[in-house]
Amino acid sequence: MGDIAVVGGGVIGLTCALRLAEAGHRVEVVADLAPGDTVSAVAGGLWFPYLAAPADAVLRWARVSLARFAELAALPGTGVWRREGVVLHRHADPDLSWTAVVPDCRPATAGELPPGVTSGVVCTLPVVDTAAYLAWLAESCAAAGVAVRRAHVTRLGDLPQPVVVVAAGLRSGALLGDPTLEPVRGQVVRLANPGLTRWVVDDDNPAGMTYVIPRGHDVVCGGTADRGATATGLDVEVERAVLDRAVALVPELRDAPVVSRAVGLRPSRPAVRLDRVRHSGRAVISCYGHGGAGVTLSWGCAADVVGLSGP
């Protein structure tokens, strides 16, 4: 099979590269950032189809990823767990479409709901420590023979490979002349884990979207979803508000010390772009615009990329 270049070293790029190599392709990842410096490393790591469309394709991709993460949770060193938690709802008609691909969902009991919350869904989902997981992905790519080159790609025509996969997050738009990509700023703060294992998501919180995701040694607290915002510096006031909401939801976090902080720009688009076209004299497979669901959709989208990689 012909050589393939994958532009982008985040969770989408690495997962595509791994699956392509496993399918027999010779693959080179070309990226200007190490995996731990990408927006993927900022993600809270809970499997959940957030800020991604179209709905039918998203659920199909998410189902594939859900099954793969269940396998990875049984393996040491992947940074993946399966943990129970609750998605809270504060409106009478919440969107429950995602539950169609999640087994064993149940309504939350009254004792599992904080004041002001009308309902909730309890289920067990994958939780990913993104730093450990990205390291595992990179090691898996290396073991599969994927080459990695640190470079800033400005023109696809400069790449020698006959097939290119564009999985460069927000930078994908500039490479392909796509003006529809929009940054959605997210800020998180990570606290030392006081022993929590149960996650909680409260997107409808009137004070601002809130999630608390215990991983291994830390708990990711968020968050924000500021459309069009491009600043990547930490905002002290935003962090204070995030912590106030997180502690109100999970009081056990009140005295937990801060371990780290991060800001990332989610690559949002009206719909995930996953197609194959001719561009700059080569076959170009696009795989970008995953919004806040890059981890969640990664394995499903990578399977489609492999399907598009043939002659």
CATH of region 3-308: 3.30.9.10
pLDDT tens sequence for the chain (311 residues) = 469 999 999 999 999 999 999 999 999 999 999 999 999 999 999 999 999 999 999 999 999 999 999 999 999 999 999 999 999 999 989 999 999 999 999 999 999 999 889 899 999 999 999 999 999 999 999 999 999 999 999 999 999 999 999 999 999 999 999 999 999 999 999 999 999 999 999 999 999 999 999 998 999 999 999 999 999 999 999 999 999 999 999 999 999 999 999 999 999 999 999 999 998 889 999 999 999 999 999 999 999 999 999 87
Read off the pTM.
0.96
Q: What pLDDT is attached to residue 1?
A: 47
CA proximity to 49, closest of 303, 290, 223, 299:
290
Q: Within 13 A of 99's CA, how many CA atoms are on the CB side? A: 13
- Quick check: 308 and 163 in contact, CB under 8 A? no
Question: Which pLDDT value is given to residue 2?
Answer: 64
The alpha carbon of residue 247 and the mean position of all alpha carbons in its chain are separated, in whole angstroms, by 24
For the chain, domain boundaries? 3-308
Q: 262: how many CB neighbours lie within 10 A of its CB?
A: 18
Question: What is the token pair recorded at 42?
Answer: 């900022």
Cβ burial 90-123 (10 Å sphere, 16+ → b, else e): beeebeeebeebbeebeebeeeebeeebebbbbb
Of 41, 13, 40, nearest to 27 (Cα)? 13
**Residues whose CB falls within 8 Å of the CB of residue 139, separated by 6 or more in sequence, listed in order:** none
pLDDT of residue 216: 85
Tell me which residue of 58, 5, 43 sits closest to 27, measured CA to CA: 5
Q: What is the CA radius of gyration of the chain?
A: 19
Scored b (16 or more CB within 10 A) or e, 50-63 reads bbbbeeebbbbbbb
